[in-house]
A and B are shown apart, each in its own frame.
Chain A
Amino acid sequence: MVDWRKTEEQLFKGLMIASLLIVLGSLAAVFIVVVIRGAPALSLAMITQTPQGGYYLGKGGGILNAIAGSLYLAAGAIALAFLISLPIAWYLNQYAGRSKIAAFVRISLDVASGIPSLIYGAFVFIIMIGLHERVSLFWGIITVALFITPLLTRGLDEVMQTVSPKLKEASFMMGATRFETLWHVVLRQSLPGIVTAFLLALGRGIGDAASVLFTAGYTDQIPTSLGDAVATLPLAIFFQLGSPVPEVQARAYASGIILLAIVLALSLCSRILSQRFKKYVIK
């Protein structure tokens, strides 16, 4: 007689391995293609120079403008988003409880997370037109902050929800206020998760092209003020890929390697930081 339970076990194990292979395989494929196509064009000049005249036709220079631009933009946006997200997440967890307001806020944030970044870009663009504003680092930061805030807030919210009520009670028992409990206990306990949520949102922000297309603009210079237009890596890749010149296309892939490296470095940092913050966490 066939042992169905064993067959079932084998079947689902196989299914899980297959799913894993599909995901890892796609990731590896992207990596390999980008590296193979981009590596020959990768040079020190790519990351240390701004585009020279005729760069997009194959002449010299690099994409330091876009690297710096993306970093400025992402840093500003994540800082702004974090300042907005943390109080919302705190409110949801410590003050709103399971109220209708909390449920409404959570649903709103989930919907907001699902809106394509292009829509956020278009929305801010309309405001900019109304105010007679030109594309700039400032408006780019606003746009990216706007579209990563719901993601970050829900991320922080989920992380803080995992903090055991017993732990908060321990703090209240000592006479701590809600804010003291948040600041000293909930924050510490959820710090590893907060770092992860933070860097996931940052990764989303740094990799997005659509939201900054109308709002941050594009330039060959490194911005020197919030009012300057700013180039970003995703847009740099987009423009270079669109070039008919093969060398410029190769540089697009090289730029992809740089973007991947930045995102990889961020993930690595997040790993290391959360490991460090795990020391005092109560399991």
Chain B
Amino acid sequence: MAGKPITISHLNVRIGDRNILKDISVSIPPNKITAIIGPSGCGKSTMLKCMNRMIDLVEEIDIEGDVHIDGENIYGSGIDVSLLRKKVGMIAQTPNPLPMSIYDNIAYGPRIHGQRKRTDLDEIVERCLNTVGLWSEVKERLEDPAAKLSIGQQQRLCLARALAVQPEVLLCDEVTSSLDPVSAKHIETELSSLKNDYTIVFVTHILRQAKRLADYVIFLYLGELVEYGPANEVFFHPKDPRTAAYIEGVFG
């Protein structure tokens, strides 16, 4: 599907009296992988959370600006956050399976969004687990607690869970940082195969990972968007000296 870009304009985020994001404006292209890179504490995760309004859960938060997804301002009035989060899926840094069976973890999203038929759910569970390459590993024990899976499997389960509600966008927040190298590789492979169908935005502090996966790169530094462009340009011909310094490993 050829979706519309995610357009962020003049996004300012303050938590208490700290300025986390300063006047961010950027347009994230559909069906590509866009990486948000930058040193710790530069606002990468905050920016990600602004795109599905998980940021709303943070206390003392103050948000200005617009984020348009599918041509709709998600901070506009009359936005159904539940539907927004169905459309914009998210995978967290550490795997966070729900306290239920493997099957129910995947079926959770479709169920709360009104899917009740067992045969439909069966089909969704199998398809999503297949997409992340977990089906053959767990098909015999779908009723086992999700917590019994290895950490790597849990993260793939979370990816499958996000896919189960047929989102258009996937937000990934350092999704490989708590995984072993083999599992991390798994997730990376799956993400790059998913970009044809989804717009993927991922946060990482691993530059090599961004180089491997990203089509576009956003470099954030101290809450400012320093540079944005196609991955090759940002990595090999950075325009801003701060970007160049970060990519060369001078700081961060």
Contact = CB atoms under 8 A, between A and B. Distances in A.
Contacts of A185: 98-99
A176 B114 CA distance: 11
Interface stretch (A61-69, A137-145, A275-283): A275-283
A240 to B, nearest CB: 47
Interface string B77-113: 0000111111001101010111111000000110011
A172 B97 CA distance: 13
B54 to A, nearest CB: 6
A188 B98 CA distance: 9
B147 A173 contact: no
B44 interface: no
A280 B99 contact: yes
B59 to A, nearest CB: 7
A173 B112 contact: no
A173 B57 CA distance: 11
Interface string B140-151: 000001110000
Interface residues of B, number: 31
A189 B99 contact: yes
Nearest to A165: B57
A162 interface: no
Nearest to A163: B99
Contacts of A189: 99
Interface in B209-240: none
Nearest to A183: B112
A174 interface: yes
Interface in B49-88: 52, 54, 57, 59, 81-86
Contact of A173 (B90, B97, B100, B146): B90
B92 A173 contact: yes
A280 B57 contact: no
A173 B98 contact: no
Contact of B112 (A167, A169, A174): A174
Nearest to B89: A173
Contact of B92 (A170, A175, A177, A281): A170
B92 A166 contact: yes
A184 B145 CA distance: 15
Interface in A148-181: 166-167, 169-177, 180
B112 A180 contact: yes
Contact of A167 (B52, B82, B96, B101): B96
Contact of A282 (B59, B113, B147): B147
A38 B1 CA distance: 79
A172 B57 contact: yes
A171 B89 CA distance: 11
B99 to A, nearest CB: 4
A82 to B, nearest CB: 21
18 contacts: A167-B96, A169-B54, A169-B92, A170-B97, A173-B89, A174-B86, A175-B81, A175-B84, A176-B112, A180-B112, A184-B98, A184-B100, A279-B145, A280-B99, A280-B146, A281-B145, A282-B97, A283-B147
Interface of B: 52, 54, 57, 59, 81-86, 89-90, 92, 94, 96-101, 108-109, 112-113, 145-147, 158, 161-162, 165
Given A281-B99, A282-B146, 7 more contacts: A167-B98, A169-B96, A172-B54, A173-B90, A174-B108, A175-B165, A281-B147
Interface of A: 97-98, 166-167, 169-177, 180, 184-185, 188-189, 279-283
